[in-house]
Structure formats: structure tokens, C-alpha cells
Structure 1
């Protein structure tokens, strides 16, 4: 039996859990959030991604109740949350620093919020034990935070945040303090825990890989505005602007003027004397319109000879090589001075690579390999 695909945003009958409606937030003359409208659905793992100062943390602080919108409304489960104080919202927040109590054990840290609420002792015991099992911390229940690793402290903070069964958990750069290998492991643990609890997670991060790994959808932000909201695959393969294409992953951007050559096919005139590039695009363009071809390095094939049937082929000289273990990225300089990156998978052990510095090579790609963007 096929597992149903989780896509509530494509279901017109689904009601969002969180709704930002025309929300603007100003600090004096500075506009941190600019007329933002966005929906987040129940059980989503939603990522707010963008550079420092783009407004993602301000959005999170408004959800938590630490800031109020200057204009517009924020709804949680259909309720306007502006008048609801932070401690009465069905929202919990996990900070980058974890903010654990050093003098309390792991067990007591998780129980702290439940005791403050006056939950009966048997229920506290059952709930804390459940959280310890969920985060695989049973063996460390009696230890203090300084007696466990950074990754384990991160799980304690997560267990404490989930103990009160919030509708919504906000995670502010939660993996920033972990080393790369541990961060990657913890990303999958977070996804697993989110799926098991069914809690809606909203994560703020500037780490693209993290957002692309954990999220059901990603909102790419810039200067207080959401540039695109889509699944990680769509953000990467079908960016809606040059900004999003350039922000997510590695990309070659080639600017030129567009002319139509048929139904959904275009020629991109990009350099005087250079052969136009052939592109298929579902988006229409007017004759002579300026556009950018965005093409990922892994979609570009590198070869010693010109491929006979390539839709697009350009010749150049290898300028730089970045060896990344599993991949090699070749920076190839064209006679026009443009540099195009091509990526190859290192699928076998080699004593000498096929192409080296100063080699003349051909780069080729299909008409559907890149995406044509108007801005």
C-alpha cells in the first residue's frame, strides 16, 4: 500500500495551523518584516532560511510572543495570538544555547516546566520517562548537564521543550553549537522525533543544508520578505528568482537576451560571437527580454571532445579544481572570460584525474538542464 504524501499546503480543505496575514514589524525606522503573508500547516517541519538580518528570528519572536506585529495579524489554530501572553500560548521555544539549569539533573530539567504548571507527580513521572525514551536519554537521567556531551544536552533541551506537548515548537539555530558530523546525525534525530510526536516544528537557520535536510517546506527570506516558499526539491530545482537560485546551493548564472525558437523553447543570446544557448522553459518571455539561465554544476558534463548531440556546448580551460572527496568541482574559464562550474562524482579510486589544470575541455548540458529566470 502506498504511503500518502504529506502535502497539506496543496489541499484546499486543509486549514493552516499558523497564519501570518499582512504582518509588518518595525523597530523605529527599520522595517524587519515587510507585509508578510504565510501559512504553516499542522505537523509540518517548516524552515525559515536566510542570511543574518533577513527577519527570520523576528518572525519567530512574534510567534513566541516576545514581539508584537506593528501591522497585520498572526493566527494560531484560528485564534489571534497578539493578546495572548507568551506563557499562555501553546508554543514552546528551544534556544541555541539550550538554557539548561546546571544544578539540576537531566530528569529534573525535563520535569521543571511540568512542576511549575502543578501537574500531579505520577503524571510528571510518566511524561518525563516518555520524553527520556523519545530522546534516548534514559541512561543519563541522573546526570547534570556538564556531565553529558553537547549532542546529549541538545536532546535534553528538546525533551524539555516537548514535555508540555506544545502545538508548536520553535527552534532557533538549534544545532549551531554542534560539530558538523554530530549536526548531521542530530538532524535525522530531530526529523524522527518530530514525526513521532506530530508536533509542528518551525526552525530558524542560515544553514542551507540543514533546512534542505529537515524541512517539509522552506521559506527563503531576504530583507524582511519571503522570496519563495516551497519543498526543498522545488526550491533547488525550480527557484523562482535569481536570488533564490544563487542563495541555495551552487549555481552558474548566465545573463542574456531571449528569443523564442518554438513552443516553450528559447535561444539565450549571451555573448557577442558566442553560439546562443538553447533552453526549454514553461515560463513565457517576451522577445529580447533580459533573462538569466541558472544551471547547477552537477547538470554540466565535462568532456575532452565536443559531444555530438549536445544541445549546448562551450569550450574552455580548467582554471581551478576543488576536490571534495565524493565530488570534484571544475572551474572552467571560457574565451569570453566567463567561468562555469562543472561537477563530477568521484565514483572510483583514481591515481590521476581525467582533467587537470590548464586542460582544454568541453562543457555541455541539455536544453532542460537549466532554468530560465526573469529576475
Structure 2
């Protein structure tokens, strides 16, 4: 029997752990959060993703209690948390800088909050040992922060944040200080720890790959508003707007006028390129401006004209070789660039295509997403 899928947001009877209800936050005349409504569920690993200044950190600071909404309400476990001081919320926050005490050992850093709460000695020792084991830091318990690596310091900060068993852990760009390889390894550790503890994690990041890797759901933000909330695969495969399609991963965008050719099928008249064909369950009226978003991995590249729903000739302008993949930037007759990606599945002594080669790019009518905004 397969495991039930974790998707409380699809369950009408599920009660959210966190609710933002028509929340607006202003700093003077500046609107940082604009009439935002959102539910986050228990045991979710929820990512707030967006460019600098989009409001994601303000949302997190309101959850932590460092800011209060100008309008609207935020509730945690059904209780309005406006005005509740940070130290009285079942919420902990892990900062990008980790904020460890340099003069205390790893063990003492983790124990600090528990000691301040007056936890009895045996329970405190057991809890710190449990946190060290969870974050695989047992061997480093007696070391000071400067005697361990950046990745280990990150785990100390995580252990300290989880020691008090918060209902909600807020992570502000937690992996920003780590190098790429370590960041990728740590992402999986974070997911593993989140699953083991069952704590709800809300992470703020501007790194799309990070959000897509760790999160059960991603909220893509822009200018204080949430543009789309969905699972990573939905965000990637079914973006609701050009903004989301463009913000997440690599995308080709073609703009033209729609004309219905049948049930959910359209002919798009693209200036200079001519007609291309696409399918869409989202309705478009004849003559309506639309945008076709196609991921590079769904575009094939050929030496000869292929038989395909859509085939356009161009020439190779640039090649990005990424080891496992090559991305070809193909210039079309009107100057539009289309990226086509192919997997380098076997070792090759020379490229199939090189700079300035005339090539054809093709994609199916179902490969792209037709968007109206």
C-alpha cells in the first residue's frame, strides 16, 4: 500500500497552523505587504521565494513578532498573535548569520535557551544530546564555533532553534553563507531534520533551486503580493503568469495573438515568426494577446527540418556546456532567441552543433504553457 500523499492544502477539512487574513504592512507610505491572505499547514516545509524587497522577510518578521501588521490578522494555531511578544510565541527564528555565542561551546550554545527557561538538569542534558544526535554534531559538542566549519555552525544554529521544540521554525536565508556543494548537501539534511521533528518550517530565500528542492509548497512573491502558491512541480510546469514562469528556472517566451482552432487548441500568430500551435485548458478569445512559455528542455534541436507541431529555423548563437547538459541559444529570423537543451548522455569527441550552424528547433503543441498575463 502506498503512503498517503502529504497535501493538507487540498483537504477542505484541514485546519491551517498559520493564517494570514488580509494582512497589509506599511512603513510610512511604503506598502511592504499588500492585502495578503495565506494558509500554512502543520508539518509543511513552506518557502517564501522572491527578489530582494518583495516582502518575504517582512512576512517572516511579522510571524516572529518583530513587526505587527498595519491591517488584517495573523493567527497561529487559531489564536491571533498580534501584540504577543516574540519570546511568548511557539516560534523560533534562525538568522542568516547564525548568531552563535563565540565564547560558548557547541553544547552550551544549544543549551542556552533551555537553561534560560529553567529546564531541570537531567531533561536539559537529554534534550541537548538529542539535538546533537539529530544534527550529527556529537563529536563537536565541546568545540567553540570558530573551531568548526560553516556547515557545522549552520547545524548548531538549527539544533539551538529546535531545542525548545517550537511549533514553527523560521529560517531566513539559512544557507546563504555556504558554498554551492555544501548548500546542496545541507538542503537534504534540512529536509531530513524537518521530517524527523515534524516541526513546521518556513524558509525565506531568493534561490529558486533551494526553494524547489526543500519545500512542500512555494509562494512566489513580488512587490508585497503573492503571485502564486503551489507545489514546486506545479510552479515549474504550470506557472500562472509570465512573472512566475520567468522567475523560476529558464524559460522561452513567445508573444502573439491567439486564435482558437478547436477544443483547447490555438494557433498563435507571432510577429516575424508566423504561426505556432499550442494547447491550453485556459480559454483565450480570438485576437487576444497571449504568451507561450516553453522550458528549454522541451525544445529539441535538429540539423534537418523535423516533422513536428512547431519547427522554426535559426542559427546557433551561443552554447552553454554544463557537463550533463548543453543549452543552445538559437537566434530566429526576427532576432528572438530560443534556448534548446539536450542531455549529454554519452561522451562526445566533438559537438553535434557549433557556433553559427544553421539548425531547426522544434516543440510539441503541448510542450508550453499559454499565459494571459
TM-score (normalised: structure 1): 0.99
CA distance in 2: counterparts of 1:265 and 1:317, whole angstroms: 29
Deviation at 1:349, TM superposition (A): 1.0
- Look up the match of 1:115: 115
- Look up the match of 1:240: 240
Deviation at 1:58, TM superposition (A): 0.1
For the pair 1:347 / 2:345, whether they are aligned, the reply is yes
CA distance in 2: counterparts of 1:198 and 1:101, whole angstroms: 27
CA distance in 2: counterparts of 1:19 and 1:277, whole angstroms: 43
For the pair 1:198 / 2:216, whether they are aligned, the reply is no
Deviation at 1:83, TM superposition (A): 2.4
Aligned partner of 1:336 among 327, 334, 341? 334
- Look up the match of 1:279: 278
CA distance in 2: counterparts of 1:178 and 1:218, whole angstroms: 22
1:102-145, CA deviations, whole angstroms, 9 ceiling, x for partnerless residues? Answer: 11000000000000000100000000000000000000001100
For the pair 1:86 / 2:82, whether they are aligned, the reply is no
1:194-243, CA deviations, whole angstroms, 9 ceiling, x for partnerless residues? Answer: 00000000000000000000000000000000000000000000000000
- Look up the match of 1:11: 11
> Deviation above 4 Å: which 4+ runs of structure 1?
none
- Look up the match of 2:100: 100
Aligned partner of 1:317 among 315, 318, 323? 315
CA distance in 2: counterparts of 1:76 and 1:83, whole angstroms: 13
- Look up the match of 1:362: 360
TM-score (normalised: structure 2): 0.99
Q: Report the 3-state secondary structure (helix = DSSP H, G, I; strand = E; otherwise coil) of the residue aligned with 1:151.
A: helix
CA distance in 2: counterparts of 1:280 and 1:193, whole angstroms: 42
Q: Report the 3-state secondary structure (helix = DSSP H, G, I; strand = E; otherwise coil) of the residue aligned with 1:259.
A: strand
For the pair 1:29 / 2:29, whether they are aligned, the reply is yes
CA distance in 1: counterparts of 2:246 and 2:41, whole angstroms: 27
- Look up the match of 1:292: 291
CA distance in 2: counterparts of 1:283 and 1:4, whole angstroms: 30
Alpha carbons 2:65, 2:83 under 8 Å: kept: no
Deviation at 1:62, TM superposition (A): 0.2
CA distance in 1: counterparts of 2:200 and 2:159, whole angstroms: 15
CA distance in 2: counterparts of 1:32 and 1:197, whole angstroms: 32
Q: Report the 3-state secondary structure (helix = DSSP H, G, I; strand = E; otherwise coil) of the residue aligned with 2:165.
A: coil
CA distance in 2: counterparts of 1:15 and 1:134, whole angstroms: 29
Deviation at 1:275, TM superposition (A): 3.5
1:301-336, CA deviations, whole angstroms, 9 ceiling, x for partnerless residues? Answer: 00111112x000000000111111111110001111
CA distance in 1: counterparts of 2:28 and 2:173, whole angstroms: 26
- Look up the match of 1:268: 268
CA distance in 1: counterparts of 2:334 and 2:69, whole angstroms: 50
Q: Report the 3-state secondary structure (helix = DSSP H, G, I; strand = E; otherwise coil) of the residue aligned with 2:32.
A: strand
**Alpha-carbon RMSD:** 0.6
1:231-269, CA deviations, whole angstroms, 9 ceiling, x for partnerless residues? Answer: 000000000000000000000000000000000000000
Alpha carbons 2:110, 2:160 under 8 Å: kept: yes
CA distance in 2: counterparts of 1:227 and 1:111, whole angstroms: 40
- Look up the match of 1:45: 45
- Look up the match of 1:253: 253
> Between Structure 1 and Structure 2, how many residues are aligned?
373
Instruction: Could you tell me which runs of 5 or more consecutive residues in structure 1 were left unpaired when the two chains were aligned.
Output: none
